[in-house]
Structure 1
Amino acid sequence: MFTHTALNLARPLVSYRTIALGGDAVAVGLVTAAYALLPLLVAVPLGRATDRTRRMGWIVGLGSAILGAGCLLLAHGSGLFAVAAASTVLGLGHLLCMVAGQGLIARLSAPQHLDRDFGWFTAAASLGQLVGPLLSGAILADASGDALLSATSSALLVAAVTGALGMAPLLALARVHMPPPSRSRGSARTPALDLLRRPGLPSGLFASLALLSAVDILTAYLPLVAENRGIPPMLVGVLLSLRAGFSLLSRLLLSRLVLRWSREALIVVSTAAAGLSMAVVALPVSDPFVLGAVLAVGGFLLGFGQPLTMSKVTTAAPEGARGAALALRVWGNRLGQVGIPAVGAGVSGVVGTPGALWFAAAVLVASAVTASRRV
């Protein structure tokens, strides 16, 4: 909860800081893509390390510390290159928290409780996604121009402290009895290409990267879209928190949803609905009540996609390589977070800011089609 509050406090601020430093829609897209660059190199090796270790708590704490440091670097970044570099550090800290946290869930959960436990895990993330934008909106208020730069610096200092608080649960995690990692011969060294050949894993990875990239593009581009439509930063924070609040609700209800519908059906609905909501936000709509209603419905249906893709990837992988498979999922997410915003930035440079939202909507629809085929 602490790390996701810090992250989602900082992410909209990255866009506003880029705007304050003279960046345009293309710059916002490239800075957003920089967030995922370093994790592309270390995600899978880190996942294999979690398969072999019995002590994952310290990795979560290290990630929280790095995330807080990234926020400090952002607060003092005075150029677009410095903001992009600090965004990369922010992404590394979040990667460590997510890979180790997902590894804990996969190692400690009983098979019949996997969807429920990943639902709770991502519900904590949704709570951070709800609180973070509210904090950023409250601190920024209606700041603009030169005042926007100093306001983002103050808000990023709050984010740094919040991220550092993520180290607080380390003592509790240190007392958790971890079962020993699997010792089945060669399982922890299953090549990534072999994992990708397992039924259900490619479509799960594609759906996951499409969903997460959509949230990233929405977080990055809604401030820019709102700026063009005369919507103040405080209201943008409320809209982003509304989306996160309904995602939190759906994740808390996930254990009931999977009793009525299959995991695959819910993933298809989640990606298709997310694509539709992104397309509506891209339309020239300035009424905050209409945008709020779209983001509320989209947020609810979007919410259960991430925990279900975690469960799908976990069950598709061999037992001794689940950490590696989950890290491969995170690697795919980061690849999507680099590639999709970068392409979205190019599209927005040609057709305007809403182009990035249209492109994300198209990727989501494609992932829904792939998930429906259960590849």
Structure 2
Amino acid sequence: MASAAPRSGAWLWFLVAGALLTQTALNLVRPVTTYKLLSLDADAVTVGLVTAAYAVLPLVTAMWLGRMTDRVRELRTMVVAGALLLALGALALSAAPGAALVAAASALLGMGHLVFTIAGQAAVARFSPEDQLDKGFGWFTAAFSAGQLLGPLLAALLLGSGHDVDSPERVADITLALWAGAALSLLVVPVMLVRARTSRSGRDRTDDDVVDAARRAHPATGELEAVAEPRASMLRILRVPGVPSHMLAALSLLAMLDILTAFLPLVGERAGVSPAWVGVLLAVRGGASIVSRVLLPWLARRLSRRTLLLISLYGAGLALVLPPLVITVPWLAALCLFVGGFCLGLGQPLTMTLISTAVPASWRGSALAVRLVGNRVGQVAMPLLAGLVAAPLGPAGAIWFTCAVLLASGLEKTVRRA
């Protein structure tokens, strides 16, 4: 990726293809993980704990990885490493005999997702011109949404609608689905090793530009001289106006994706809805997010980023209250998930752009890493809290709790007016 010219656009499409494969794999594996836990007689609290374990390793490594992306010249290597870790996590899940090892394998899966995501986000922030950031992040996250559509559909196809949760047939289907997820992740390696045949001189913003970002022209001589810009740190980034608010929005939006993926299968199981139908519902949510992210550049020309983010937070928070209540009414549940998915899809690329443009250019990789740290805090805390809420209220309570967090984030932005 370091050698590809941004003006050619090839680097972005290779990255989007890799994102599509990894996210299809991830969103195939994660709902299947819930069914694996059910086959091991796990309850809602255990599902919440395992979902939180997915974010533990990323939580403690995200900032370090973000700083690394600010320094390294070759981001492609990190992208490939993330895909390999995803494959290893899926294989470990297939072999795990108990909930504790499922949690450990889920943590490895989360680490692979972090490495891929943080390298991909850094590439978009590094190589995209300022006025093309919404487009770059929009296409990158659209690939994530496409994976969130295709992954659950593959899970639905592989698990089908029959068999008890702990039957040998269901267990065999679960193992096959996890192997399929590993295979999809491994396909990223040949995709990302394809190098675009473009010239180094045509780049808009090179790795050298990132290293030398803190340079400016001397007012008298016109020669470049170093600027004493402070080193990026989590505290300095969090002090930038607006960044904590954007992080809260990103955290709540991502938490809803995780909670839906982990707890909607539980809601469906209790309501007598087959895994195949649950997979279709999750795919509808993913498909709606693809639509919103493809439309994002068009929408951003007509509405401010703040307005779009408020639509995302309030719209998703209100629409996703309903699916647990109407999951046995297929068309109505699908409609609610489409509206909620459309709103969810808007928010993540917007928070990436808002945080990237709020900090100095040389801090962008680190700032996006801080955003991911916040996301991982949410991915640890929210499933634990949601699992506790689900204990007395049932799995639907976990989804309703996360809807309340989305609405609270929207209210915070409304009060701040920034």
Shorter-chain TM-score bucket reads: over 0.9
Shift of 1:182: 3.4
Shift of 1:61: 0.1
Within 5 Å, give how 1:18-37 maps onto structure 2: 18-37=37-56
Match of 2:183 among 144, 153, 161: 161
Within 5 Å, give how 1:22-171 maps onto structure 2: 22-142=41-161, 143-144=163-164, 145-146=166-167, 147-171=169-193
Change (3 A) 1:48 1:226: same
Structure 1 range deviating more: 160-169 or 81-90: 160-169
List alignment gaps of at least 5 residues for structure 2. Answer: 1-19, 201-205, 215-226
Shift of 1:175: 6.3
Residue in 2 aligned with 1:323?
365
Shift of 1:350: 2.2
Residue in 1 aligned with 2:290?
248
- In the alignment, the residues of structure 2 paired with residue 60 and residue 98 of structure 1 have an alpha-carbon distance, to the nearest angstrom, of 8
Shift of 1:277: 2.1
Contact 1:56/1:100 (8 A) holds in 2: yes
Shift of 1:311: 0.3
- In the alignment, the residues of structure 2 paired with residue 58 and residue 72 of structure 1 have an alpha-carbon distance, to the nearest angstrom, of 21
Residue in 2 aligned with 1:307?
349
Shift of 1:282: 3.4
TM-score (norm 1): 0.97
- In the alignment, the residues of structure 1 paired with residue 145 and residue 376 of structure 2 have an alpha-carbon distance, to the nearest angstrom, of 19
Change (3 A) 1:277 1:55: same
Contact 2:233/2:366 (8 A) holds in 1: no
Contact 1:55/1:174 (8 A) holds in 2: no
Within the alignment, does 1:216 sit opposite 2:258 as a pair? Answer: yes
- In the alignment, the residues of structure 2 paired with residue 318 and residue 284 of structure 1 have an alpha-carbon distance, to the nearest angstrom, of 47
Change (3 A) 1:285 1:153: closer
Change (3 A) 1:59 1:188: farther
- In the alignment, the residues of structure 1 paired with residue 382 and residue 74 of structure 2 have an alpha-carbon distance, to the nearest angstrom, of 34
Residue in 1 aligned with 2:194?
172
Structure 1 range deviating more: 88-97 or 344-353: 344-353
Task: Letter of the 2:84 partner, please give it.
Answer: A
Shift of 1:54: 1.4
- In the alignment, the residues of structure 2 paired with residue 157 and residue 51 of structure 1 have an alpha-carbon distance, to the nearest angstrom, of 34
Change (3 A) 1:360 1:173: farther
Contact 1:51/1:188 (8 A) holds in 2: no
- In the alignment, the residues of structure 1 paired with residue 125 and residue 195 of structure 2 have an alpha-carbon distance, to the nearest angstrom, of 15
TM-score (norm 2): 0.87
SS in 2 for 1:169: helix
Match of 1:340 among 382, 404, 417: 382
- In the alignment, the residues of structure 1 paired with residue 196 and residue 251 of structure 2 have an alpha-carbon distance, to the nearest angstrom, of 31
Task: Letter of the 1:95 partner, please give it.
Answer: L
Change (3 A) 1:68 1:374: farther
SS in 1 for 2:74: coil
Aligned length in residues: 375
Match of 1:182 among 191, 207, 211: 211
Contact 1:273/1:301 (8 A) holds in 2: yes
Contact 1:133/1:238 (8 A) holds in 2: yes
1:148-184 deviation digits (Å, cap 9, x = unpaired): 2221111000000001111222223586754312332
SS in 1 for 2:207: coil
1:213-248 deviation digits (Å, cap 9, x = unpaired): 101000100100000111100111111111111110
SS in 1 for 2:321: helix
Change (3 A) 1:374 1:196: farther
